[in-house]
């Protein structure tokens, strides 16, 4: 009888993508995936350390899983991902809260570690690697809609932003062989997928140099090259990527984006702060002016592009004037979307060692509310202005509110709700549809379907039999 593993993922898309690699490694070891923890022999929590709250959520969940384990004999609980390093200390030195702790670069050792666990021991591997990219492992798609998939193109990060724990939890930056990336995308197309999102902490520093440069007659592959390789896989495969870094985003990448209709005109470009002083302390490697220049370049290359960002309020030493500069930058850029956070000090980071966490909690909160209000005002305008426009939408599934409607996303990553239709005009998940936008709220759009088309560049509708 096969064993069942239940994997729960926290944190960023890279963690979710890693869980699919873990599922693949465990499938070879005889595990099938379970839909709930209750049905599982092994529960794995793939954890995130980015803010204190993220870690707290996971600690709560570990307690819940242990309560379940107390009732279910033989069930094992393991921790994967970015909290592994710290959980190792808990596991080895303090209370033995879990059976297994495995860091992001050590998933290949899971079968061996599980053998140790089976024999009644606690098992740990949190070694970080300079080479591991899981290049040839074909992920098992979890929670999949069968239409969109994530493909990890690089791991780790070398940037050392002062606030960020990622370089400590995920180690040095390394890029994955472009041919394995293209191959994974081809396989996704063969299985009927219509969209890939290429993932990395800083995709603009993607670089692959073949060991023997003469072997394939070419030199290094940078992110712009990779992006066009993936766009060439099929015109009916829509391509997104995340995350760009303002200090490294090149015009070469923007030029590739304009060249292909199937690359979404959407850039997630985390600014963090609108104040050059704060950016300097954050060790981000760019100023406010540099960031605005990058925005101008995006708008020049792709006037209709959507731009989103990440913002931190209350970083060490942030003054009211600094905060006002963040608000004025938001006003100037008019972001379509943003992830906004209060600064949370993380152990080992440059900021934790060098700067006092000196902005009071209530000031951080108030500034966060102001940043959120600013975003809502500009993003709401953008959506309302979309009324009357035509957009290409990739249908992802049935609307949660009503079976008569389907939802999907346009190029700009905005959710668009359209009527399902019936008979010959019924649309289904995986269809590209041309939609006329009829109304908009701050978060989503509603529209009517004009035609189902074979791929984003097609102007002619699919002929209906």
Could you list the residues that contact ligand SAH (CB under 6 A)? 50-51, 163-164, 201-202, 243, 245, 270, 272, 310, 312, 341, 343-344, 346
Q: Which does 167 bind (CB under 5 to 8 A by kind): ligand SF4, ligand F3S, ligand SAH, none?
A: ligand SF4
Q: Which of 44, 153, 161, 249 binds ligand SF4 (CB under 6 A)?
A: 161
User: Can residue 245 be called a binding residue for ligand SF4 (CB under 6 A)?
Assistant: yes
Contact set for ligand SF4, span 253-312 (CB under 6 A)? none
**Cβ-closest position to ligand F3S:** 11
CB nearer to ligand F3S: give 13 or 328.
13
**Which CA distances in Å does 446 have to 306, 388, 393?**
18, 11, 11
Contact set for ligand F3S, span 121-140 (CB under 6 A)? none
CB of 288 to ligand SAH, least distance (A): 16
CB nearer to ligand SF4: give 201 or 308.
201
Q: Which does 344 bind (CB under 5 to 8 A by kind): ligand F3S, ligand SAH, ligand SF4, none?
A: ligand SAH
Q: Which does 169 bind (CB under 5 to 8 A by kind): ligand F3S, ligand SF4, ligand SAH, none?
A: ligand F3S
Q: Which of 78, 104, 167, 171 binds ligand SF4 (CB under 6 A)?
A: 167
CB nearer to ligand F3S: give 172 or 299.
172
Q: Cα separation of 43 and 35, whole Å?
A: 11
CB of 163 to ligand SAH, least distance (A): 4
Q: Which does 82 bind (CB under 5 to 8 A by kind): ligand SF4, ligand SAH, ligand F3S, none?
A: ligand F3S
CB nearer to ligand SF4: give 202 or 414.
202
- List, in sequence order, every residue forming a beta bridge with 305; answer none if it has no partner: none
Q: Which does 49 bind (CB under 5 to 8 A by kind): ligand SF4, ligand SAH, ligand F3S, none?
A: ligand F3S
Q: Cα separation of 239 and 229, whole Å?
A: 11
Q: What angle do CA 317, 319, 320 make, to 5 degrees?
A: 160
CB of 420 to ligand SF4, least distance (A): 40
Contact set for ligand SF4, span 101-160 (CB under 6 A)? 157, 159-160
- List, in sequence order, every residue forming a beta bridge with 101; answer none if it has no partner: 79, 124
User: Can residue 170 be called a binding residue for ligand F3S (CB under 6 A)?
Assistant: yes
Stretch that binds ligand SF4, among 41-49, 163-171, 316-324, 449-457 (CB under 6 A): 163-171
3-state secondary structure the chain: CCEEEEEEECCCHHHHHHHHHHHHHHHHCCEEECCCHHHCCEEEEEECCCCHHHHHHHHHHHHHHHHHHHHCCCCEEEEEECCHHHHHHHHHHCCCCCCEEECCCCHHHHHHHHHHHHCCCCEEECCCCCCCCCCCCCCCCCCCCCCEEEEECEECCCCCCCCCCHHHHHCCCEECCHHHHHHHHHHHHHCCCCEEEEECCCHHHCEECCCCCCCCCCCCEEHHHHHHHHHCCCCCCEEEEECCCCCCCCHHHHHHHHHCCCECCEEECCCECCCHHHHHHCCCCCCHHHHHHHHHHHHHHCCCCEEEEEEEECCCCCCHHHHHHHHHHHHHHCCCEEEEEECCCCCCCHHHHHCCCCCCHHHHHHHHHHHHHHHHHHHHHHHHHCCCCEEEEEEEEECCCCCCEEEEEECCCCEEEEECCCHHHCCCCCCEEEEEEEEECCCEEEEEEEEEECCCCCCCCCCCC
Q: Cα separation of 397 and 256, whole Å?
A: 29
Give the contact letters, 60-99, x = binds to ligand F3S (CB under 6 A), - = no: ---------------------xx-----------------
CB of 52 to ligand F3S, least distance (A): 12
CB of 448 to ligand SF4, least distance (A): 40
Q: Which does 412 bind (CB under 5 to 8 A by kind): ligand F3S, ligand SAH, ligand SF4, none?
A: none
CB of 114 to ligand SAH, least distance (A): 30
Stretch that binds ligand SF4, among 125-133, 164-172, 184-192, 366-374 (CB under 6 A): 164-172
Dig out the tokens for 24 from the structure.
């693949």
Residues of this chain that bind ligand SF4 (CB under 6 A): 157, 159-161, 164, 166-167, 201-202, 245
Residues of this chain that bind ligand F3S (CB under 6 A): 11-12, 14-15, 48-50, 81-82, 165-166, 169-170
């Amino acid at each position: 009888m096969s064993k069942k593993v239940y994997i729960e993922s926290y944190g960023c898309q890279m963690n979710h993508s890693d869980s699919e690699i873990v599922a693949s490694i465990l499938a070879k070891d005889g595990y099938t995936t379970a839909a709930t923890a209750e049905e599982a022999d092994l529960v794995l929590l793939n954890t995130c350390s980015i803010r204190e709250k993220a870690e707290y959520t996971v600690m709560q969940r570990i307690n819940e899983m242990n309560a379940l384990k107390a009732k279910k004999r033989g069930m094992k609980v393991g921790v994967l991902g970015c909290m592994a390093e710290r959980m190792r200390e808990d596991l080895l030195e303090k209370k033995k809260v879990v059976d297994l702790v495995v860091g992001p670069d050590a998933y290949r050792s899971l079968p061996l570690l599980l053998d140790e666990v089976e024999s009644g021991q606690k098992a740990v591997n949190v070694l970080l690697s300079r080479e591991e990219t899981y290049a040839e492992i074909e992920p098992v798609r979890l929670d999949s809609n069968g239409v969109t998939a994530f493909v990890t193109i690089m791991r780790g990060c070398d940037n050392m932003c002062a606030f960020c724990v990622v370089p400590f939890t995920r180690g040095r930056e390394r890029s994955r062989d472009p041919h394995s990336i293209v191959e994974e995308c081809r396989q996704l197309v063969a299985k009927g997928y219509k969209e890939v999102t290429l993932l990395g902490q800083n995709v603009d520093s993607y670089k692959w140099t073949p060991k023997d440069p003469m072997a394939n007659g070419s030199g290094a592959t940078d992110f712009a090259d990779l992006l066009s390789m993936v766009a060439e896989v099929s015109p009916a495969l829509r391509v997104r990527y995340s995350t760009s870094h303002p200090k490294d985003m090149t015009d070469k990448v923007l030029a590739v984006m304009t060249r292909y209709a199937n690359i979404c005109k959407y850039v997630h470009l985390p600014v963090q702060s609108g104040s050059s002083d704060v950016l300097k302390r954050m060790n981000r490697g760019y100023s406010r002016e540099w960031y605005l220049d990058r925005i101008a370049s995006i708008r020049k290359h792709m006037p209709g592009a959507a731009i989103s960002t990440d913002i931190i309020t209350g970083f060490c030493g942030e003054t009211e004037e600094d905060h006002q500069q963040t608000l004025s930058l938001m006003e100037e850029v008019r972001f379509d979307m943003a992830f906004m956070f209060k600064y949370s000090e993380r152990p080992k980071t440059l900021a934790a060692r060098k700067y006092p966490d000196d902005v009071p909690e209530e000031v951080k909160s108030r500034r966060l509310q102001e940043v959120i209000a600013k975003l809502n005002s500009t993003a709401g305008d953008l959506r309302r202005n979309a009324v009357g426009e035509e957009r290409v939408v990739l249908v992802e599934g049935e609307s949660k509110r009503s079976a008569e409607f389907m939802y999907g996303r346009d190029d700009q990553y905005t959710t668009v709700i359209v009527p399902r239709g019936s008979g010959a005009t019924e649309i289904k998940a995986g269809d590209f549809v041309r939609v006329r936008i009829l109304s908009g709220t701050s978060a989503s759009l509603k529209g009517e379907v004009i035609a189902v088309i074979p791929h984003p560049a097609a102007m002619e509708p699919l002929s209906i039999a």
